[in-house]
Amino acid sequence: MGSSCGRVCWEWASRLRRLTGFSRLLSTAALAPQICVVGSGPAGFYTAQHLLKHHRLAQVDIYEKLPVPFGLVRFGVAPDHPEVKNVINTFTQTAHSDRCSYYGNVTIGKDVTVKELQRAYHAVVLSYGAEDNRILGIPGENLSGVYSARAFVGWYNGLPENRDKTDITEGSLAAIACSKVKRVWLVGRRGPLQVAFTIKELREMINLPGTRPLLDPADFTGLGDVIKDVPRPRKRLTELMVKSALEKPGEREASRWASATKEWGLKFRCSPLEVLPAADGKQARGIRMAVTRLEGSGESARAVPTGEVEELECGLILSSIGYRSLPLDSSIPFDPKLGIIPNSLGRVQGAPGLYCSGWVKRGPTGVIITTMNDSFDTAQSVLEDLQSGLLKLSNSKEGFKSVRSILHSRGVHPVTFSDWEKIDAAEVARGKLAGKPREKLVDPREMLQLIGH
């Protein structure tokens, strides 16, 4: 009984000390950390969420160059995967916090510099992602008919910069409905054991109505023994490929494939050498590829040219070799080779008070859960630096009050989260008329006009 009473008394004393300390913090406005996050995609919102949850005084401002928030959740998720977009509900809750503000239509590095942000905030977190795409670097890449997968996804998702190319946009849906594409090849420079897609994605492709897969049995023969010791996700994925390539399909599947009018296939161990021009010299007609062999095994296997070449006739070529981050401001350290901001646990090297999270921190890899954990880690670094005194709260910072004056002087009109909710309501209303979840506005000028900017 005595020990229990002692523990309760200690807990109350501890809580009283925390409350006393908390009230002291409240009495000094200068001790409330002003933090800004650049980028309103998953990395930005998860960083803000963790900071707000674990620091009871922090004010977090999120800046975004587009009028609309949510980054790749809005512009990178396939329209037929609406469940992935449910995280928007969590991000909206964060934005509704009375200690969080959203400012869209503000381009950092142009409308306001990072140095100016650092003067206005105790901590600046760069979470602007990877907005560029890697290039193949081969002759003919600029021919008509050659696009990056990023541009294609941006087109059907209504990304403003790709709007001319379902929440799929009405124009994209009409174009795809009229498409005469009958066969799609997915080409990889390595083999089946190095593919980057998931079993869920493969299963969806195999079950795609009106299509049949083209898998060469020779690519999968003998893989059964090889995959015994590989990690379970890779093993299950490979087993599904092997089953689809080598086993006789069931009656229902065979019937569906027999009546299919479209095909897709996997072509392994081919590396692009040149996009071949049509007779007019302007349009792509095909691609020449080096046949490769693998040196090493597993994830570390390298594709080495064999000296043989292969040509594939095709009028549309989409390069899907990854995204790439760009330097935001000349004052920020940047590794152009890796395409990231050099950092240690999210702390930008040689720049106290500057942090990074998401793809610009680690490179364009992983899924939303990866970004969530990564962003929480960066936010934790900020919290630790606040606690240790590395970020000096005694230095008064004005936060957005200071930035607002800069933006006003430069004729920039930020979009608030309530402004976004007006755009959101308009999109949903337009979608309802078309029998879909929303019809996205794709012109920033139309978005700004809607909210009276």
Do 179 and 294 belong together in one domain? yes
Overall number of domains in the chain: 2
Q: Quick check: is 437 in a domain?
A: no
pLDDT of residue 358: 92
Q: Quick check: is 448 in a domain?
A: no
Do residues 357 and 373 lie in contact, with contact meaning Cβ atoms separated by under 8 Å? Answer: no
Do 121 and 176 belong together in one domain? no
Q: Quick check: is 197 in a domain?
A: yes
Do 310 and 338 belong together in one domain? no
Q: Quick check: is 157 in a domain?
A: yes
Do 190 and 273 belong together in one domain? yes
Q: Quick check: is 222 in a domain?
A: yes
* C-beta neighbour count of 446 within 10 angstroms: 13
CA distance linking residue 205 with residue 303, whole number of Å: 26
Say whether the peptide bond before residue 98 is cis (omega within 30 degrees of 0). Answer: no
Which amino acid belongs to residue 330?
Answer: S
| Domain edge (last residue) among 415, 433, 448 | 415
Q: Which two tokens stand for residue 21?
A: 């300390």
CA distance linking residue 50 with residue 186, whole number of Å: 39
Do 229 and 374 belong together in one domain? no
pLDDT of residue 76: 64
Do 239 and 281 belong together in one domain? yes
- CATH number of residue 280's parent domain: 3.50.50.60
Do 216 and 334 belong together in one domain? no
Q: Quick check: is 256 in a domain?
A: yes
pLDDT of residue 81: 66
CA distance linking residue 67 with residue 48, whole number of Å: 19
CA distance linking residue 197 with residue 160, whole number of Å: 27
State the alpha helices, DSSP H only, in 55-169.
71-75, 87-95, 114-120, 149-156
Do 221 and 316 belong together in one domain? yes
CA distance linking residue 273 with residue 305, whole number of Å: 11
Do residues 265 and 183 lie in contact, with contact meaning Cβ atoms separated by under 8 Å? Answer: yes
Do 155 and 202 belong together in one domain? yes
Do 187 and 312 belong together in one domain? yes
Do 124 and 164 belong together in one domain? no
What element of type H or E holds 224? helix 223-226
Sign of the four-CA dihedral 328, 331, 332, 336 = positive
- Residue identified by tokens 């401002």 is 61
| Domain edge (last residue) among 322, 354, 372 | 322
Q: Quick check: is 200 in a domain?
A: yes
- Beta pairing partners, 348: 343
CA distance linking residue 62 with residue 57, whole number of Å: 16
| Domain edge (last residue) among 322, 344, 378 | 322
pLDDT in tens, the chain (453 residues): 444 344 334 444 444 443 344 334 333 344 899 999 999 999 999 999 999 999 999 999 999 999 999 887 776 666 666 676 788 899 999 999 999 999 999 999 999 999 999 999 999 999 997 676 677 888 889 898 888 877 777 777 666 655 547 455 666 667 767 778 899 999 999 999 999 888 988 998 999 889 999 999 999 988 877 888 888 889 999 999 999 998 888 888 889 999 999 999 999 999 999 999 999 989 999 999 999 999 988 888 899 999 999 999 998 888 887 777 788 888 899 998 888 999 999 999 999 999 999 999 988 877 788 899 999 999 999 999 999 999 999 888 999 999 999 999 999 999 999 999 999 999 999 888 888 788 888 888 999 999 988
Do 222 and 112 belong together in one domain? no
- Residue 97: which domain range? 18-131+325-415
Q: Quick check: is 436 in a domain?
A: no
Q: Which of 230, 138, 150 is nearest to 193 (CA)?
A: 230
The per-residue DSSP string of 137-190 comes to: --TTTTSBTEEEHHHHHHHHTT-GGGTT-----HHHHHHHHT----EEEEE-SS
The per-residue DSSP string of 255-303 comes to: HHHHT-SEEEEEE-SEEEEEEEE-TTSSBEEEEEEEEEEEES-GGG-EE
Q: Which two tokens stand for residue 267?
A: 């072509």
- CATH number of residue 339's parent domain: 3.40.50.720
Whole-model pTM? 0.73
Q: pLDDT tens digits for 102-159?
A: 999 999 999 999 999 999 999 999 999 767 667 788 888 989 888 887 777 777 766 6
- Beta pairing partners, 147: 318
